A and B are shown apart, each in its own frame.
Chain A
Amino acid sequence: MLGALIIVFREVIEAGLIVGIVMAATRGVSGRGRWIGIGIGAGVFGATLVAAFAGAISQAFEGSGQELFNASVLAVAVVMLMWHNAWMARHGREIAAEMRNVGTAVSEGAKPLTALAIVVGVAVLREGSEVVLFLYGVLASGTSGMSIALGGLLGIVAGAAFTALTYYGLLAIPQRYIFSVTGWLIALLAAGMAASSVQFLNNAGFAEVLGSTVWDTSWLLSDGSILGKLMHTLIGYTERPTQLQLAVYLGTLLAMAVLMRIARYRPQERVVA
């Protein structure tokens, strides 16, 4: 039971971390609960679909369907996170001002909550499909299935508790800074996802360039440890990044910075002091 709990928890915390950050990033926006709920619901539904068709997905594209699928959904998430940050760069100040003036509620529709709902959906979809497959395998094999299924369920509960911890931890940040902190978190999240995406492409037999390892910090923090997994999701940490992964990581951060700069620029608002 404990083994199942740990396996499931390890998968769930990655999605949980993302949901926690997205919730903090949309603090005070009305209707965000519904959108994030839709994202989680769609992610769980998608995860069961992906698990049900795991065989077909795996066989697609000469046995590389799974890698291409992962690379694509990660790429979608990266684009959505960029869109969110660009949007916040343009409108964040108004939202923060409005929150101070009228308490919390900011009019719905003022913000592209769909982008973050998609990010949540994709995160739940990816990690959730592995949980579903694992639990299915356990139940199918029969022996002591109930105990392990219970462990799995407890793992999901522990993951949800971790999401709440992330969210309330971020809420402890003073309101003045919260959007810049979540903006940075989202930029790092996106860069890490882009680096993972390109590794999945590489595993699928594409983008087979710049494959040498830049450094090896497995002695310091292993990818397999819980902390390693958390840092992987949070800042894209990996114990042995390839040159390509590092280039894509830095490129994504740069692209994000440029995009936010462009979004922030409003010539008509130039006021003579």
Chain B
Amino acid sequence: MRQFLALFALAAVVILSPAAARADDYVLTIKDHKFTPTELKVPANTRVIITVVNEDTTPEEFESNILKVEKVIPGKSRGTVRIGPLKPGRYPFVGEFHEATAKGVVIAE
């Protein structure tokens, strides 16, 4: 039982430990319910961390089914979004609360 627990704990640590932080950081800014840049180039086949900065006073939901992300970014605040590894291609995303204007695409290459 003891060994089993130790093994389980070890497995949990291996699975749950966050991968080492990557140096490259990508930033998307929301202002007036629009994303800047509207096209964000990221490397393919690797995990990418994007910081989404919401400069509006209202909350926004960063959403992309293809990127498997759904995250609320409160007004005047920022959030971290982890995506990938992606195959080369175009991956659209929207701000769900203002879908008419808040649109963009991640380009993996």
A residues neighboring B (CB under 8 Å):
3, 7, 54-55, 58-59, 62-64, 66-67, 129-130, 133-134, 136-138, 140-141, 199, 201-209, 211, 218, 222-224, 238-240, 242
Contacts and interface: CB of A to CB of B under 8 A. Distances in A.
10 contacts: A54-B59, A58-B72, A63-B79, A64-B80, A64-B82, A137-B97, A140-B75, A211-B84, A211-B85, A240-B65
A66 B72 CA distance: 8
A259 B65 CA distance: 33
Contact of B65 (A133, A208, A223): A223
A21 to B, nearest CB: 22
Nearest to B81: A203
B82 A58 contact: no
Contacts of A223: 65
A202 B100 CA distance: 29
B69 interface: yes
Nearest to A53: B74
Contacts of A206: 15-18
A59 B65 contact: no
Contact of B58 (A140, A202, A207): A140
A3 B59 CA distance: 17
B19 interface: yes
Q: Give the interface residue-count category, chain B.
A: 20 to 34
A66 B71 contact: yes
Tell me what chain A mostly uses at the interface: helix, strand, loop, or mixed: helix
A137 B59 contact: yes
Given A206-B16, A218-B66, A134 B79 contact: no
Contacts of A238: 68
For the complex of A and B, list the 3 residue pairs with the smallest distance between their C-beta atoms, beginning with the closest: A63-B80, A137-B58, A223-B65
B42 interface: no
Nearest to B96: A7
Nearest to A201: B16
Contacts of A207: 15-16
Given A58-B79, A133-B72, A205 B85 contact: no
Given A66-B79, A137-B59, A55 B74 contact: yes
A54 to B, nearest CB: 4
A134 B59 CA distance: 7
Given A133-B97, A207-B16, 7 more contacts: A66-B71, A129-B72, A136-B59, A206-B17, A218-B65, A239-B65, A242-B68
Interface in B54-81: 57-61, 65-66, 68-69, 71-75, 77-81
Given A7-B97, A206-B16, A218-B65, A133 B74 contact: yes
Contacts of A224: 65
Central interface residue in A205, A222, A223, by most chain B CB within 10 Å? A205
Given A66-B79, A199-B68, A203-B68, A58 B73 contact: yes
B46 to A, nearest CB: 11
Contacts of A205: 18-19, 82
